[in-house]
Every structure is written in C-alpha cells, then in structure tokens.
Chain A
Amino acid sequence: MGKLIQNGIRIDGRKFDELRPVKIEVGVLKNADGSAYIEFGNNKIVVAVYGPKEVHPKHMEMPDKATLRCRYHMSPFSVEERKNPAPSRREIEISKVTREALEPALILEDYPRTAIDIYVEVLQSDGGSRCAGITAAAVALADAGIGMRDMVCACAAGKVDDTIVLDISDVEDKEGQADMPVAYLPNLKQISLMQLDGKLTAEEYEECLNFALKGCLQVYEIQKETLQKRYFSEVSKSE
C-alpha cells in the first residue's frame, strides 16, 4: 500500500478532490440529430443521438412514449489488447445502466411511437468511461433537442490507498480498493446511476458518494459552458 498516493498527491499528480482534465465539444457529427465528443482524462468518446425517429423493428414501438435505446461500444483499438468488436457482456451491462441513467431526465412521453437512439463509441478508453459516456450523451441529447427534465452529469469516486478520492483513473481502478460511478440530475438533486466495485464501510460510502456528487457538479459546469459556447456565443460577440 501507499503506491498510489504519496505525500497527499496521487500517482498522476492530482489532489484527492481533483478531476482529470475534461473537454467537451458539441455537434461533431453532421448526420446525427445531436452529437458530442468528450475527452475525460485519456478517455476519448464520441456520442451520437438520432431521433425522435421512426421505430424499427416496428414491434418495439410504444403507444405512450418513445422507445429509448442505447449502445455503449468500445472500438477494438481503444484498449491495450485488441478488443473483439462484438459486444461483450460488460458492454451490454454498461449500455443498460447508461440508458437507465439518462432515461429519468428525458421526457419520453412527449414522443409516443418514436425511437431515440444513443450511440456511445469509446475510441480510447481510460478509467471512468461509462461516466464520461453518460456526460457526453446528455450533451448530445440536449443538442438533439430532446425534451429534458434536467441535464445528467456523471463522475466516479473511489478508495485508493485507504483514502477516498475523486475521479478514478485506469491505474487507480485496477490497483485501488473501490470504484463508485455516479450519475446525477443536478437541479432535481436525484441520483440516476450508482454502482460500486470494492469494499466501503457505511461512513466511507457516504463520504465517497459526496465526493462523486461534487465531481458531478464540476462536470455539469463544463457541460453548460460547452453548450452555451456552441449556442449562445454569437450573442456575447454582438452585444
């Protein structure tokens, strides 16, 4: 122990409550109704949203709301050893929790008999790719103009060398003691994704959750800046 934290500084030079650098761009894919690109640490992820659109296959159509579908996929070259391009069980699970993290924010009842498709493609992976994917997907959904009760921002916290830290990197995930990805609806103050790998006491759990929520709020600010720059920057120029 003590490998990952020395003198209060983490292995990549961060403080306990410091995020990795985050950069988001909007409208990166011309064909998509909404799209976003995110760099979250060494994660590089592109997200496309299509919809509301016609539902294929037809039997997935729902009479009272839109059918929300989500695919989280890792490119074969996104990891150290080539990943088989067929969806793994891990990717299927992450697709499910990503969809469930975003769904409470979406007003699907406004779009009956349609489909909304979210494609999360991980081009380069690092720790916390599901959180980065959810964060970018929320921006892409706003860009697509889907009605949203709130934004969704996501960030993980965890335990490394017996210390609770924010935003677990790849190394910290593999060598650390716990990883807790969280997604948050910041205005509704609701948690829509919560998972945990690793051991925490009840007290540590609360501390870790509070850390993750602080990270989520920082991510939320970056999401807002990105969208404001894309949609409203001409305003500030001319005013």
Chain B
Amino acid sequence: MSRRSSIVIEHLRQEQMEALLKVGKRLDGRGLTDYRELKIETGLIKKAEGSALVSLGNTQVIAGVKIEVDKPFPDMPDKGLLICNAEVLPLASAYAEPGPPDEAAIELARVVDRGIRESEMIDLSKLVIKENEKVYAVFIDVSILNTDGNLFDATSYAVVSALLTTKIPKYEIINNELIKTNEFINMPINTIPISVTMAKINNSIVVDPTNEEEMCMDARVTMTVDEANRVCAVQKGERGTLSIEQIKEIINLAIYKSVDIREKIKGVVYGKEKEQ
C-alpha cells in the first residue's frame, strides 16, 4: 500500500517539506513537536459497553469495547482477558482494500495492545468472577474510518478513551449458575498510558506525522508512556535507522508530549462523567 501511494506524492511537495523541516516548520504550519487537533467523543455506541470516536487531524478512528464472560488462559487463571484488534476499513482511503488484515494492520493492533497490556492500564486481576473458571473478557475492536497518518496514536487514544468509559455488566455465580445482574462495575484502571508516535524525516524528528509525512519518513517510533513517566512499550518501524542521540531525544520528547495528551483525555472522559 505504502509503495503505491508513494508514487502519488508529488516530488515538489517532498522537497518543500524537507526544506521547511530544516527551519523547524511543517507543511501544515505546525512546529516539529506539535500535535494536530485531537477530538474525542465517548459513549456514542450504545450497544457497546464502552466506545470512543477519535479525530486526530483528518485521521478518524472508532473503538468499541464489548465485555463477555470466558474461561481464563490456563497459565493465568487469576486474570481477566484483554483482546485488542484493529482494522483499516475499505472506506478509509482509496488504497485500503477489503480482506484479511495485512502486516501493517497487524502491527498496528499489536503495538496498541502492547501499550495497554505492558502499562498494566487495566487491573486484570479484578476482572475475575471465579478463579480458574470464569473471568471477564474485554474485547476492544478498532475500526479506522479515515487515514491521514499516525494511526498508532489515534487508535491508542480511542482504545484508552473507550476503556476509561466502559461500564462492565456485573455477573455473579449463584448455585453454580452464571447470572447477569442489573449492576455495573467501573473498569479497574491503574494508569492512563499515552502513545506518542514520532517520525524521522531527513534527520528531523516530528511528532504526529500526517499521511504525506509518513510517505517521506525514514523511520517511525511509537513510545507508550504511563502516568509515572515510564516508557512501557516501544516499536520502531519502517526501513530507516536511528542514532543513539536521536533515541535519547525521542524518549524525552515522548514523555514530555504524553502529559498534555493525558490531561486532554482525562478532561473529556472525566468531564463528561461529571456532567451526567
């Protein structure tokens, strides 16, 4: 996919981009470390236990959380299940095609999943109904509606926002029978992980790359940072390389950028709850 669209990008535009980057500017007027406008709307899918629609510039994704009751994994009998999936819908761009997820979509889902899992955002030990037998299974499915770069962050913010607003229908085992009660429990949250994706274009590091910038980038790094400012998951992608100095730069950049975005998500999620 990237190959075909790379033919589409105009060379003049690429030259312009690279010239601008040298003086610390970008094609859309942003500074190197500025995010595009982030819009989050939660709870819009009533059939899902949690949902969020995220727009990051023109990139638009929707995440839905469904809760089921399942058997735990044999090696983790005292933990609930967490399954994260992402799909680029055919309607998302002229280059997306229906069919099984390609390696880019698989990487996207696995990197977002890793950020949620490794930060221990959700306290899975609190999602047990009966040890060894019945646990809550949290299914998070993300659909990409429109692609304009940085699917990693947009997807991660949608997943995090949807999880933060998820209400789990409470189940109980009474006389060996699984019964759905009318009560709901809040998702047990430990921390709010924030994914920060940076692209290296001609030795400049920019955050939140657009589609156009991704077509020109040498390498991409996604770092997920928790509330204690620890890096929990990292993925370097694409064919370029990074120097040790550049890696040191992006660790600090990721930690710095994560603070604002976490506040923004908290504002949307908790602000809304207060209104209700």
Residues of A within 8 A of B (CB): 62, 89-90, 92-93, 95-97, 100, 103-104, 180, 185, 188-202, 205-206, 209, 213
Q: Does B48 contact A (CB under 8 A)?
A: no
| Cβ-neighbour of A191 out of B232, B235, B236 (below 8 A) | B236
Beta-carbon contact of B114 and A197 below 8 Å: yes
Decide: B118 and A190 in contact? CB cutoff 8 A: no
Evaluate contact between B231 and A205: CB separation under 8 angstroms.
Answer: yes
Which of A89, A194, A202, A213 sits near B221, CB closer than 8 Å?
A194
B143 within 8 A of A: no
Closest A residue to B102 using CB positions: A92
Evaluate contact between A191 and B242: CB separation under 8 angstroms.
Answer: yes
Q: Does B241 contact A (CB under 8 A)?
A: yes
A202 and B251 within 8 A (CB): yes
* Cβ contact within 8 Å between B103 and A196: no
Q: Does B241 contact A104, Cβ atoms closer than 8 Å?
A: yes
Inter-chain contact A191/B243, CB cutoff 8 Å: yes
Known A100-B239, A188-B241: A202·B103 in contact at CB below 8 Å: no
Report whether B103 and A190 are in contact in the complex, using a CB–CB cutoff of 8 Å: no
Please indicate the chain A residues that have their CB under 8 angstroms from the CB of B16 in the complex.
Answer: none
Known contacts: A92-B106, A93-B110, A194-B247. The answer to whether A100 contacts B237 by CB under 8 A is yes
B244 contacts which chain A residues (CB < 8 A)? 189, 191, 209, 213
Given A93-B110, A96-B103, A195 and B235 touching (CB < 8 A)?
Answer: yes
Contacts of A200 in B (CB 8 A): 230-231
With A and B bound together, what is the CA distance between A200 and B247 in angstroms? Answer: 14
With a CB–CB cut-off of 8 A, which chain B residues contact A103?
239
Contacts of A193 in B (CB 8 A): 236
Which residue of chain B lies nearest to A197 when distances are taken between CB atoms in the complex?
B118
- In the complex, how many residue pairs between chain A and chain B have their CB atoms under 8 Å apart? 90
Question: Do the beta carbons of B118 and A195 come within 8 Å of each other?
Answer: no
Does B103 contact A191, Cβ atoms closer than 8 Å? no
Question: 9 pairs across A/B with beta carbons < 8 Å?
Answer: A95-B103, A189-B243, A192-B236, A197-B118, A197-B233, A199-B231, A202-B255, A209-B244, A213-B244
Interface flag for B238 (CB, 8 Å): yes
Interface residue from A190, A196, A206, A213 paired with B241 (Cβ < 8 Å): A190
On whether the beta carbons of A104 and B239 are closer than 8 Å, the reply is yes
A residues in contact with B119, CB < 8 Å: 199
Q: B247 and A191: CB pair below 8 A?
A: yes
Nearest CB on B from A162, distance (A): 13
B248 within 8 A of A: yes
The answer to whether A104 touches B110 (Cβ under 8 A) is no
Q: Is B148 an interface residue (CB 8 A)?
A: no
Give the shortest distance, in Å, between A153 (CB) and chain B (any CB): 13
**Top 6 A-B pairs ranked by shortest CB distance?**
A190-B241, A196-B234, A103-B239, A194-B236, A199-B230, A192-B241
Q: List the B residue with the shortest CB-CB distance to A213.
A: B244
A91 to chain B, nearest CB (A): 10
Q: In the bound complex, what is the Cα–Cα distance between A180 and B107 (angstroms)?
A: 17
Q: Are A199 and B106 in contact (CB under 8 A)?
A: no
Contact among B103, B236, B242, B248 with A195 in the assembled complex (CB-CB below 8 Å) = B236
**A192 surroundings in chain B (CB, below 8 A):** 236, 241
B240 close to chain A: CB less than 8 A: yes
Question: Would you give the shortest CB distance from A5 to chain B, in whole angstroms?
Answer: 20
Give Cα A198 to B114, complex, Å.
9
**Residue among B226, B232, B234, B242 facing the most chain A CB atoms (10 A cut-off):** B234
Q: Is the CB of A206 within 8 A of B106?
A: no
**Least Cβ–Cβ distance between A84 and chain B, in angstroms:** 16
Taking a contact as CB atoms under 8 Å apart, the answer to whether A194 and B234 are in contact is yes
A200 to B255, CA, bound (A): 12
Residue of A104, A180, A191, A202 near B252 (CB, 8 A) is: A202
Cβ proximity bits B210-251 to A, threshold 8 Å, 1 near / 0 not: 000000000001000010111111111111111110011001
Q: Which residues of A contact B242 (CB under 8 A)?
A: 190-191, 194
Known A197-B233, A206-B248; 13 more pairs at CB < 8 Å: A96-B103, A96-B106, A104-B239, A104-B240, A194-B221, A194-B234, A194-B235, A195-B236, A196-B233, A198-B118, A200-B230, A201-B230, A201-B231
